[in-house]
C-alpha cells in the first residue's frame, strides 16, 4: 500500500506528538499497547509508536508516543480500526517496516475508558482497510463500505477454533489480505480463501545468529552453516529480516544485506 506508506512518512515529518481536539460524541480512551516479542526488544530495544485512527467525521488522525499508553478521542459507537506501528528511528526503521498492532472499535473496548490493542487486532485493522479500498467508512463509496458491516468477532474466532490451517493460526500475516479482500468484495466472505501466500526458499549465506521478521507472530530464524533458507513470497515487493549483522532485503531471487548505520 504505497499511498499508506507515503501518508505515514508525511505525517511523521509534520506531527511531533499526539494531538486531537475532541468533537461532540467523542469520548477519551486510553490505549493499552501489547507487549513486543522478546526477540524484537533483544535486538532493537524499546520502540516509539505511531498510532493512526479515525476521529469524528472520519478524520484520519495520527499520534506519536514513547510510552506504553496514549489517550485518544473517538466515538465508541462507530465501527472503525485503530493501528499502532512500533518503529525504531535510532535504527532508521520506519513504522511501515514492521507489522502493526491494532483494534476494531467497539469490539476491543475493554473498559468504559480503555481500548486494548493486540497483534491480532493489527491483522483485523489491516483487513478492515483492505475491505474499504484503503478509505474510511465515511469517505468510501457506498458499494465498498464492507469494513463497518463485517462480522469481526466471527472473523477473529477463525484463528482459535481450528477453522484455519495451523500455519495461519500461528501467523496470520502469512495470508495475502488484500487479495482476500478483493474476493470478499466481489462474492462475499469465505474462510476457505484464507490461505498462506505462496513462498519459495531463497538460500542466502547470511551471518550466523537469529533473524527476526516484521511479523510479531513469527519465530526468529536461526542462521547457521554456509547458507540459510529464507522463505520469500512470490511476486514483486521487498521483504526484510533483521539481525545484529544488519538488514536483509529480499525481492524475488535477489537479496542484499545492509549493515546497521
Minimal CA–CA distance to 228: which of 247, 207, 252? Answer: 207
What confidence tier does 75 reach under pLDDT thresholds 50, 70, 90? confident
Q: What is the mean pLDDT of the chain?
A: 85
Tell me the C-alpha distance between 25 and 82, whole Å.
18
Q: Using an 8 Å Cβ cutoff, are 213 and 219 in contact?
A: no
Q: Measure CA 237 to chain center.
A: 16
What confidence tier does 96 reach under pLDDT thresholds 50, 70, 90? very high
Q: What is the CA radius of gyration of the chain?
A: 19
DSSP-based three-state secondary structure for 133: coil
Q: Measure CA 189 to chain center.
A: 21
Q: Which pLDDT score is estimated for 5?
A: 46
| Beta-carbon-side half-sphere exposure of residue 92 (alpha carbons within 13 Å) | 6
Q: Which pLDDT score is estimated for 7?
A: 40
Looking at residue 19, what DSSP letter applies? -
More confident site: 25 or 106 = 106
Tell me the C-alpha distance between 136 and 81, whole Å.
9
Tell me the C-alpha distance between 169 and 159, whole Å.
5
For residue range 31-72, list pLDDT tens digits in order.
999 999 999 999 999 999 999 998 866 678 888 876 666 788
Q: Using an 8 Å Cβ cutoff, are 43 and 92 in contact?
A: no
Tell me the C-alpha distance between 86 and 66, whole Å.
10
Q: What is the pTM of this model?
A: 0.86
Minimal CA–CA distance to 245: which of 216, 223, 219, 230? Answer: 223
Q: Using an 8 Å Cβ cutoff, are 221 and 227 in contact?
A: no
The answer for residues whose C-beta is within 8 angstroms of residue 13's C-beta and 6 or more apart is none
Q: Using an 8 Å Cβ cutoff, are 27 and 76 in contact?
A: yes
Of 19-23, 113-117, 126-130, the range with the lowest mean pLDDT is 19-23
Minimal CA–CA distance to 148: which of 75, 74, 79, 77? Answer: 79
What confidence tier does 218 reach under pLDDT thresholds 50, 70, 90? very high
Is it the case that residue 78 has pLDDT exceeding 90? no
Is it the case that residue 8 has pLDDT exceeding 80? no
Q: Measure CA 46 to chain center.
A: 18
Is it the case that residue 203 has pLDDT exceeding 60? yes
Q: Using an 8 Å Cβ cutoff, are 126 and 152 in contact?
A: no
Inter-axis angle of helices 119-131 and 177-187, to 10 degrees? 50
Amino acid at each position: 500500500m504505497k499511498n499508506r506508506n507515503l501518508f505515514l512518512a508525511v505525517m511523521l515529518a509534520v506531527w511531533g506528538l499526539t494531538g486531537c481536539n475532541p468533537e461532540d460524541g467523542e469520548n477519551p480512551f486510553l490505549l493499552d499497547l501489547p507487549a513486543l516479542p522478546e526477540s524484537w526488544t533483544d535486538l532493537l530495544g524499546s520502540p516509539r509508536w505511531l498510532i493512526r485512527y479515525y476521529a469524528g467525521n472520519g478524520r484520519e488522525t495520527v499520534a506519536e508516543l514513547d510510552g506504553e499508553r496514549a489517550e485518544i478521542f473517538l466515538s465508541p459507537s462507530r465501527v472503525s480500526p485503530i493501528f499502532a506501528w512500533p518503529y525504531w528511528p535510532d535504527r532508521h526503521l520506519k513504522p511501515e517496516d514492521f507489522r502493526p498492532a491494532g483494534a476494531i472499535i467497539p469490539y476491543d473496548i475493554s473498559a468504559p475508558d480503555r481500548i486494548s490493542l493486540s497483534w491480532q487486532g493489527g491483522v483485523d485493522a489491516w483487513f478492515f482497510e483492505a475491505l474499504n479500498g484503503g478509505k474510511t467508512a465515511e469517505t468510501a463509496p457506498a458499494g465498498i463500505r464492507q469494513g463497518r458491516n463485517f462480522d469481526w468477532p466471527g472473523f477473529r474466532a477463525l484463528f482459535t477454533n481450528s477453522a484455519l490451517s495451523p500455519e495461519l493460526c500461528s501467523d496470520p500475516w502469512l495470508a495475502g489480505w488484500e487479495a482476500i479482500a478483493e474476493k470478499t468484495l466481489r462474492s462475499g466472505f469465505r474462510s476457505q480463501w484464507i490461505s498462506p501466500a505462496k513462498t519459495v526458499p531463497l538460500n542466502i549465506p547470511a551471518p550466523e545468529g537469529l533473524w527476526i521478521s516484521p511479523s510479531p507472530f513469527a519465530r526468529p530464524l536461526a542462521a547457521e552453516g554456509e547458507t540459510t533458507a529464507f522463505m520469500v513470497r512470490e511476486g514483486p515487493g521487498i521483504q526484510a529480516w533483521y539481525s545484529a549483522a544488519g538488514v536483509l532485503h529480499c525481492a524475488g531471487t535477489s537479496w542484499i544485506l545492509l549493515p546497521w548505520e
